[in-house]
Structure 1
């Protein structure tokens, strides 16, 4: 179960032994209301000054309590809609809401009361899956690559890459031998969404319409791409607020959206210089795959097939929620969920905390 973005809560069910995915079950997204989004935005602002992962000053305690309740309601609704008995669920993976991510300070903060969720639902919950990795010196993200590798098992094309374009964009590179390299490539939809909210009153650039009506400013784009992050070797990760839209201030709403959309794609393309071999196929999941302007930019810049997850019979919306279920199973079995090539942790490492009802 994933609530990493400000869009809503994704819930998905899988059947797996922590290695092979035997079956992908139903999935659903429960959108946040404007009031819920506003509370989470306040929490993001309130988290900027945190120095310890368990601090919950001011609005953060209220947001964490509310968020846990929203997730419980989402699971209950999901179970009812799909005729699933809660007692049949072996384990629930709970992402929570990331409000601060500073791995260089060995600090990552995800709101979400695992014990409270377990008590409410009467099922065991694995939560706080990033903390052990960050404490060991890893980036704490991305954690989905091991699930990407499981999904890529049938693919003939190698190396292959999975691109997850949510608020932040990340890439998983899967080598011919199953070797993993993963890192955040740069901004995903966050800057575009914030820009559209500000100038168009929309939470996102639906169908890329605003960007399609503008022209990317090459001078501003070059300034954005000069950020030192793009020269850092992987593994590396970003906070949602690591980049901001100040560089596009003064552009028209359309040109700003076009520039930010191009920036997301160009950051992905720049990241391929850090790989040992170029991918022969890119599989895109997350909300970014629904933006035709962004997908066009990716195809132009990457010079390789770029397809949506659905082209492989996968669900690009539910993949992260599925991954959290998969990670919860691996955590329960003490299997590694992060690796030197994905987060920079010194050795393969399991993680997560178990909350029993």
Structure 2
């Protein structure tokens, strides 16, 4: 068993998630402290700008990678000082700013070697590159951890992560299928931010007060991505706000929440069987409108990760830690049915402090 610290920041760049677990890469012996540390305001603004600009902004990536690494080093040092723990290993996902699997490219900015040197601890980085090199989508990477968490739960079930993009993991015994479903919180966050009222639809404040435009919902779900066979993955900016252009704040927010939920409902047709339960994690589980829309549209029971004693805020950072332990044990981190790779892939690279 190893004590591993996992870190990750999503495309909302609202902070760096950190979580400690004890694992050998197959079994989860226990979970430890978890938390989130914010990026510096200048770093977050630069990340959001880089995501919006895409590959046309490549010239700014090296300087941004340095800033991301510094912020992670500070966050990790503060976190470990607060816990009094010294992990055997740190897993550094880095910050995704561009994801284009069709072109064989996924970009997570950060310097794992620099982080290892600063911390004086071994660091696993480059988690997605080997999968892409093997013909995979490079995402999602969390399914193997979801499978470990699903032991003892009634199956078939789905873990549904609603971050910037929604992705699911279908688990039925040894059968694991995963893919990106569609827009998660990204469009709704952008719509609320553009209106200047908040950074996101806090507690469903705006979406619950509006009416869903069914005609626009139908248009949105006619996008060919939703019927494309899995495995498949999305960039955060794969969809745009044109679906709700000209709508009021409340009705636009309600319609975007319904699009997120209906995309999940349509994804059921791509699964081997109808799931008996849906375990929702990620920021979307905190939005009552999205949760109500899911419950209305899905046949299985819709629950949150917290209902099962799982820390939904820490789960992805825990998953990164789990992947790092699997790398060290020589175990696959992604599979043909989760990313489309030609064969099971051991993702990651070890950086030792110099």
Q: Normalising by structure 2, report the TM-score.
A: 0.95
* 1:166 lines up with 2:153 in the alignment: no
Secondary structure at 1:141's aligned position in 2? coil
* 1:3 lines up with 2:9 in the alignment: yes
Residue in structure 2 matched with residue 128 of structure 1 by the alignment: 126
Determine which of 241, 257, 260 is the counterpart of 1:261.
257
Residue in structure 2 matched with residue 231 of structure 1 by the alignment: 227
* 1:27 lines up with 2:34 in the alignment: yes
Secondary structure at 1:48's aligned position in 2? helix
Residue in structure 2 matched with residue 293 of structure 1 by the alignment: 289
* 1:36 lines up with 2:56 in the alignment: no
Please state how far the C-alpha of 1:137 moved relative to its aligned partner. 0.6
Please state how far the C-alpha of 1:187 moved relative to its aligned partner. 0.7
Q: How does 1:206-285 map to 2 (within 5 A)?
A: 206-285=202-281
- Structure 1 CA distance for aligned equivalents of residues 40 and 193 of structure 2: 14
- Structure 2 CA distance for aligned equivalents of residues 262 and 321 of structure 1: 28
Residue in structure 1 matched with residue 4 of structure 2 by the alignment: none
Residue in structure 2 matched with residue 141 of structure 1 by the alignment: 139
**Offset from partner CA, 1:57-85 (integer Å, 9 cap, x none):** 4321121110011111111111111122x
Please state how far the C-alpha of 1:46 moved relative to its aligned partner. 4.1
Contact 1:165–1:286 (8 Å) recurs in 2: yes
* 1:71 lines up with 2:67 in the alignment: no
- Structure 2 CA distance for aligned equivalents of residues 207 and 4 of structure 1: 19
Contact 1:42–1:59 (8 Å) recurs in 2: no
Secondary structure at 1:116's aligned position in 2? helix
Contact 1:168–1:184 (8 Å) recurs in 2: yes
Secondary structure at 2:339's aligned position in 1? coil
Determine which of 167, 178, 203 is the counterpart of 2:174.
178
Q: How many residues align?
A: 346
Which has the higher mean CA deviation after the structures are superposed, 200-209 or 316-325?
A: 200-209
Which 4+ residue blocks in structure 1 deviate beyond 2 angstroms? 31-37, 45-50
Contact 2:40–2:71 (8 Å) recurs in 1: no
- Structure 1 CA distance for aligned equivalents of residues 255 and 64 of structure 2: 33
Determine which of 22, 29, 41 is the counterpart of 1:15.
22
- Structure 1 CA distance for aligned equivalents of residues 340 and 198 of structure 2: 37
Q: How does 1:271-350 map to 2 (within 5 A)?
A: 271-350=267-346
Q: Normalising by structure 1, report the TM-score.
A: 0.95
* 1:114 lines up with 2:115 in the alignment: no
**Offset from partner CA, 1:216-271 (integer Å, 9 cap, x none):** 11111111101110111110000001011112110001111111111000001100
